[in-house]
């Protein structure tokens, strides 16, 4: 596909603003740029067709099955989009006086109330813009709590080795030392390892439950109790909340604070990478440490971004919650779990689950034996799925399973889709045994063949340059 | 409604296939005493029609102003129609991070084009695929500039307060010091900067135009920062960059900013777009996703997520940032905006913003007791004194006009290309009437 810059025609433009009806204001030359930015010069039809072409080279949830484990790629209802596009929401300035923004404040208050109920927390902030941002906000609550008590020797955050990379990265951003503890053979927290790690220097524990291998840790009450007894706090990474919402609450598991990914669990679209929203909830005693906006609420609080957060994402999530209601929330969770178990059952006998037991909303296949036997890797299987129009599962995660494929079908897939997906996995399993070469070379019918990632990293070309420019300014790499 | 397609009969069939009798067995690992025994205390399920009515009723509780003269980090620009329709396309909307390049070329190419546009605006060599907003972009920039010896960040007191507090919070996270550079006549005081520049300073952050709308002597500040061995970070309004000197021309090592003016609605504060661009030397310090060009197995041009060795999923606690999800759809929006505006359209938007703001300022300062608080050159925001401030703002609001933001010493006004002369005249008339009472 041509780049938009390669379609540019000098002098072409769209007429969007019209003539200025007041006198021009001039700035001294010293403030002005030497040359205009080299943006494309196009008519509206050029732009429309360009992006339509790009859009045709994207696989979205609306296109087909997207079992990307830990990302909860559920269907994004259209009505949520329509509500987020209402001018009554989109045209509101974040610094407009309270009397003129009652609707927006009611959206935030109502969503906070519902999410507190679902999570078992007492207070909520929507300032974090994504899951990792929520983790940062949540662990800062823990830091502030210990600091306020003068308990500054608590320098360590415990993270299981099955955790998402964002967990240890977050702890480091909050100035903590990360203590990685190994998982038990069943993928759950190893209580002995946890006990050994706990001490007077423990600030807290970061945990997902169900965990990243899709198993609900049955020792959860013991785990949170042990951390509390050591003087630490418990942070719940809500990445996997879709499995349990409306069924069991993190607050009742003993967690003190939590983030929820509105773009996963509450069906707001992922947008090709974002925007999301990472609502952070906490128990009453942590409420004083929740962030706020200096401009909206006055100084004195911590703050993790401007204004009140990704408000229009919250509008979508609230619309979704209204349509689900108290009946739909647990119904979604139960069907997410049912779908995962059904798909696992249908795939079993070919690629084997890493943990052969009832799973939650996702499960992990372990292809290490299969690879030994056939030479076909998890990557090869993933790339082969693309030829069937299925988005591959999450690959090579969690790190505790080698040759991992992590599947999360979500509740919005039908039995027919799951049957079809299972058949595809079974076919590929058989293909790898007879014709591994075909799978090593997959995909065969995709937008592109396998890209050379090593080349991209060694010789980084990270922006387009006009060919008429000299070689000396070309290329950001060496 | 839960958007679950399977019928009750199918669900039962699936349960049986798994070897279970009912759904409770799916949750057999959950200690029974923890299972919720009563329904959640949230309202019953609504139909789409009912939910839509409820949300519209909430939207109706907000005031839609016909003229917005308030900026301070969120700007009311004209959003061309196509800029709304492209990001609403369902594939762009419902995909996630393009981990699988073979089925994500559209997203990857759109990001590559966005990166190029940001580089063009800022004069930089490399841009990431976006961070959360302008405030976090500044905070991430501060982190990117730190090394073992140089830990202290300096930020101008003329930077947006939300940005300052966000950077302060990120510094609290890593136990690093933030010093605020004093302001003189609304601008960063170069002498004060010089004094604060000790050997442990890693970065100096300024905003252009600054919070008070004033144009900083950005090159001079950059020279001071570099003379002190610190990196220079500029946070710039991207529409202003249609005409203003690029951060690169001003000597910046990192260019960051709030991308909201590029086609994103005010939306009560978000989602917005943090852009980050850097010189080649700083490329591997940038956080977040970066898309690179390569070739595929057939030798054809292709795009991939690149330089991932910087990121949290590889480096875990050693990563420079924990960012994973970003604001890709907002970056796409900005790219569509910049594509339809083109170089001339963007410069025209910038010039019209400036013209309208200067017209408003001239008219307002003709009124008794209304004077500019600062003397410097400004872009599309300025601060004036304003007698009877609360009454004036209330009178404007009563006529559907959101006046400037109350700040220390007066009001911070803003005008964009959307403000028609007649509407500005009416706003000034209202101010005049209140002052005359």
Does residue B87 sit in the same domain as residue B106? Answer: yes
Predicted pLDDT of residue A473:
40
Residue A147: Cβ within 10 Å count:
14
Q: How many helices (H) and strands (E) does chain B have?
A: 13, 16
- In B, minimum Cα distance to A76 occurs at B94
Does residue B371 sit in the same domain as residue B325? Answer: no
Residue A455 forms contact with B (CB below 8 Å): yes
What's the rounded Cα separation, in Å, for the pair A452 and B128?
A: 20
Predicted pLDDT of residue A474:
42
Asked if the model's pLDDT at residue A472 lies above 60, the reply is: no
3-class secondary-structure state, position A278 = strand
Predicted pLDDT of residue A55:
98
pLDDT one-digit tens code per residue, A230-288: 999 999 999 999 999 999 999 999 999 999 999 999 999 999 999 999 999 999 999 99
Question: Which positions 289-348 of A are in contact with B (Cβ < 8 Å)?
Answer: 291, 293-296, 299, 301-313, 315, 318-319, 321-332, 334-335, 337-339, 341-342, 345-346
Residues B162-169: what's their mean pLDDT? Answer: 98
What's the rounded Cα separation, in Å, for the pair B254 and B144?
A: 9
Question: Which positions 104-163 of A are in contact with B (Cβ < 8 Å)?
Answer: 104, 106-107, 110, 113-114, 117-118, 129-133, 135-136, 140, 143
> Residue B382's domain is classified under what CATH number?
3.90.1150.10
Pick from A284-293, A297-306, A312-321, A461-470: least confident: A461-470
Is residue B18 situated within a structural domain?
no
What's the rounded Cα separation, in Å, for the pair B30 and B427?
A: 62
Confidence band of A470 (pLDDT split at 50, 70, 90) = very low
Residues of B with Cβ-Cβ distance to A87 under 8 angstroms? 59, 64
Residues of B with Cβ-Cβ distance to A104 under 8 angstroms? 62, 268
Distance from CA of A448 to the nearest CA of B (A): 5
User: Are B70 and B404 within 8 A, CB to CB?
Assistant: yes
Does residue B363 sit in the same domain as residue B233? Answer: no
Domain boundary among B277, B312, B335: B335
Does residue B220 sit in the same domain as residue B349? Answer: no
Residues of A with Cβ-Cβ distance to B284 under 8 angstroms? none
The CATH class that applies to domain A78-321 reads: alpha beta
Is residue B110 situated within a structural domain?
yes
Confidence band of B314 (pLDDT split at 50, 70, 90) = confident
* C-alpha count within 13 angstroms, C-beta hemisphere, residue A435: 8
> Residue B114's domain is classified under what CATH number?
3.40.640.10
Question: Which positions 233-292 of A are in contact with B (Cβ < 8 Å)?
Answer: 244, 246-249, 252-253, 261, 263, 267, 269-277, 291
Is residue B234 situated within a structural domain?
yes
Is residue B326 situated within a structural domain?
yes
Does residue B318 sit in the same domain as residue B349? Answer: no
Domain boundaries, chain A: 4-55, 78-321, 334-454
Does residue B114 sit in the same domain as residue B127? Answer: yes
Range of the structural domain that residue B226 is part of: 81-335
3-class secondary-structure state, position A290 = coil
User: Are B134 and B269 within 8 A, CB to CB?
Assistant: no
Tokens of B216: 């900083």
Mean residue pLDDT of chain B comes to 97
Asked if the model's pLDDT at residue A363 lies above 90, the reply is: yes
β-bridge partners, A365: A353, A405
Residues of A with Cβ-Cβ distance to B239 under 8 angstroms? none
Residues B6-21: what's their mean pLDDT? Answer: 97
Tokens of A64: 């087909």
3-class secondary-structure state, position A475 = coil
Does residue B270 sit in the same domain as residue B389? Answer: no
Residues A39-68: what's their mean pLDDT? Answer: 98
Residue B90: Cβ within 10 Å count:
17
Domain A334-454 has CATH 3.30.70.260: no
Does residue B178 sit in the same domain as residue B116? Answer: yes
Is residue B191 situated within a structural domain?
yes
Confidence band of B223 (pLDDT split at 50, 70, 90) = very high
Q: Do A345 and B133 touch (CB under 8 A)?
A: no
Does residue B269 sit in the same domain as residue B417? Answer: no
- Nearest 5°: CA angle at B61, between B59 and B63? 90
Residues of B with Cβ-Cβ distance to A88 under 8 angstroms? 56, 58-62, 64
Residue among B46, B63, B135 minimizing CB distance to A305 = B135
- The ipTM (two decimal places) reads 0.98
Residues of B with Cβ-Cβ distance to A50 under 8 angstroms? 339
Mean residue pLDDT of chain A comes to 95
Residues A139-151: what's their mean pLDDT? Answer: 98
- In B, minimum Cα distance to A410 occurs at B4
Does residue B324 sit in the same domain as residue B356? Answer: no
Residue A364: Cβ within 10 Å count:
27
pLDDT one-digit tens code per residue, B103-137: 999 999 999 999 999 999 999 999 999 999 999 99
Residue among A174, A273, A315 minimizing CB distance to B328 = A273
Is residue B45 situated within a structural domain?
no
Tokens of B96: 């996630």
Specify the residue for token string 């779908």: A339
- C-alpha distances in angstroms, B425 versus A388, B419, B422? 62, 10, 5
Tokens of A226: 């042990």
Into how many domains does chain B fold? 2
Residues A294-304: what's their mean pLDDT? Answer: 95
Residue among B94, B97, B302 minimizing CB distance to A62 = B94
Q: Do A247 and B36 touch (CB under 8 A)?
A: yes
Does residue B72 sit in the same domain as residue B130? Answer: no
Confidence band of A468 (pLDDT split at 50, 70, 90) = low
Domain boundary among B308, B335, B362: B335
What's the rounded Cα separation, in Å, for the pair A357 and A346?
A: 14
Does residue B327 sit in the same domain as residue B387? Answer: no
Is residue B38 situated within a structural domain?
no
The 8-class DSSP code of residue A133 comes to H
Is residue B417 situated within a structural domain?
yes
Helix axes B48-60, A102-119, angle to 10 degrees: 130
Distance from CA of B437 to the nearest CA of A (A): 24
Domain boundary among B281, B309, B335: B335
């Amino acid at each position: 596909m041509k780049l938009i810059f390669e379609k540019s025609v000098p002098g072409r433009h769209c007429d969007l603003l019209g003539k200025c009806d007041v006198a021009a204001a001039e700035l001294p030359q010293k403030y002005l740029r030497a040359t205009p930015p080299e943006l494309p010069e196009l008519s509206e039809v050029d732009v429309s067709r360009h992006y339509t072409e790009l859009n045709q080279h994207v696989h979205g949830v609306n296109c087909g099955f997207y079992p990307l484990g830990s990302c909860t790629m559920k269907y994004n209802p259209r009505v949520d989009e329509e509500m987020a596009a209402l001018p009554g929401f989109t045209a509101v300035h974040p610094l407009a006086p309270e009397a003129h923004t009652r609707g927006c404040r009611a959206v935030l208050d109502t969503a906070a109330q519902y999410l507190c109920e679902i999570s078992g927390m007492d207070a909520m902030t929507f300032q974090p813009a994504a899951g990792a941002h929520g983790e940062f906000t949540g662990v800062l609550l823990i830091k502030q709590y210990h600091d306020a008590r003068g308990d500054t020797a608590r320098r360590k955050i415990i993270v299981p080795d099955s955790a998402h990379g964002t967990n240890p990265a977050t702890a480091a951003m909050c100035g903590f030392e990360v203590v990685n503890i190994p998982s038990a053979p069943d993928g759950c927290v190893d209580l002995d390892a946890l006990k050994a790690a706990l001490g007077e220097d423990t600030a807290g524990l970061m945990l997902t439950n169900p965990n990243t291998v899709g198993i609900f840790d049955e020792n959860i009450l013991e785990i949170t109790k042990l951390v509390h007894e050591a003087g630490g706090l418990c942070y719940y990474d809500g990445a996997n909340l879709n499995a349990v919402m409306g069924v069991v609450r993190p607050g009742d598991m003993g967690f003190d604070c939590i983030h929820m990914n509105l773009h996963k669990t509450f069906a707001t679209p992922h947008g090709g990478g974002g925007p999301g929203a990472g609502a952070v909830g906490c128990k009453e005693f942590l409420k004083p440490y929740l962030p706020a906006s200096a401009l909206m609420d006055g100084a004195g609080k911590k703050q993790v971004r401007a204004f009140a957060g990704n408000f229009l994402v919250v509008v979508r999530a609230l619309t979704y919650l209204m349509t689900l209601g108290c009946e739909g929330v647990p119904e979604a969770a139960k069907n997410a779990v049912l779908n995962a178990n059904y798909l696992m059952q249908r795939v079993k006998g070919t690629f084997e689950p890493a943990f052969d037991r009832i799973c939650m909303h996702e499960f992990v296949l372990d292809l290490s034996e299969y690879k030994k036997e056939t030479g076909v890797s998890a990557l090869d299987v993933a790339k082969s799925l693309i030829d069937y129009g299925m988005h591959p599962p999450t690959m090579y995660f969690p790190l505790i399973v080698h040759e991992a494929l992590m599947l999360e079908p979500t509740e919005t897939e039908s039995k027919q889709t799951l049957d079809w997906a299972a058949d595809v996995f079974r076919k590929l399993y058989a293909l790898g045994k007879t014709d591994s070469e075909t799978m090593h070379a997959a995909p065969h019918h995709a937008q592109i063949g396998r890209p050379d990632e090593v080349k991209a990293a060694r010789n980084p070309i990270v922006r387009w340059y006009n060919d008429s420019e000299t070689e000396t300014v070309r290329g950001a790499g060496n | 409604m839960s958007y679950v397609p399977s019928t009750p009969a199918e669900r039962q069939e699936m349960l049986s296939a798994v070897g279970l009798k009912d759904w409770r067995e799916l949750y057999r690992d959950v200690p029974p005493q923890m299972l919720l025994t009563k329904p959640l205390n949230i309202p019953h399920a609504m139909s789409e029609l009912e939910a839509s009515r409820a949300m519209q009723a909430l939207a109706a509780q907000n005031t839609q102003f016909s003229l917005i003269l308030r900026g301070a980090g969120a700007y009311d620009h004209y959003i061309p129609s196509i800029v709304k329709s492209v990001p609403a396309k369902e594939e762009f909307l419902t995909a996630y991070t393009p981990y699988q390049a073979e089925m994500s070329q559209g997203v990857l190419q759109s990001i590559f084009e966005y990166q190029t546009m940001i580089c063009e605006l800022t004069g930089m060599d490399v841009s990431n695929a976006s961070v959360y907003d302008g405030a976090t972009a500044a905070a991430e920039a501060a982190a990117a500039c730190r090394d073992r010896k140089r830990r202290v960040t300096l930020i101008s007191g003329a930077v947006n307060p939300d940005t300052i507090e966000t950077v302060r919070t990120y510094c609290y996270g890593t136990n690093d010091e933030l010093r605020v550079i004093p302001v003189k006549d609304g601008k960063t005081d170069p002498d004060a900067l010089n004094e604060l520049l000790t050997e442990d300073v890693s970065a100096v952050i300024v905003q252009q135009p600054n919070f008070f709308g004033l144009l900083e002597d950005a090159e001079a500040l950059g020279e001071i920062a570099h003379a002190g061995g610190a990196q220079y970070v500029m946070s710039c309004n991207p529409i202003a960059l249609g005409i203003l000197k690029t951060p690169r021309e001003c000597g910046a090592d990192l260019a960051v900013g709030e991308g909201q003016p590029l086609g994103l609605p005010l939306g009560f504060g978000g989602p917005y777009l943090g852009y980050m661009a850097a010189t080649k030397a700083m490329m591997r310090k940038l956080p977040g996703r970066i898309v690179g060009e390569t070739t595929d197995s057939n030798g054809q041009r292709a795009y991939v997520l690149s330089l991932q060795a910087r990121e949290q999923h590889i480096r875990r606690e050693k990563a420079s940032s924990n960012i994973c999800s970003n604001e890709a759809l907002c970056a796409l929006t900005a790219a569509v905006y910049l594509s339809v505006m083109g170089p001339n359209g963007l410069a025209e938007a910038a010039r019209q913003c400036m013209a309208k703001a200067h017209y408003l300022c001239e008219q307002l300062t003709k009124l008794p007791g209304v004077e500019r608080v600062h003397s410097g050159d400004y872009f599309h925001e300025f601060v004036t004194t304003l007698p009877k401030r609360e009454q004036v703002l209330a009178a404007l609001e009563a006529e559907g006009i959101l006046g400037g933001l109350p700040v220390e010493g007066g009001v911070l006004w803003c005008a964009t290309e959307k403000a028609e002369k007649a509407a500005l005249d009416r706003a000034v008339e209202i101010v005049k009437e209140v002052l005359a009472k």
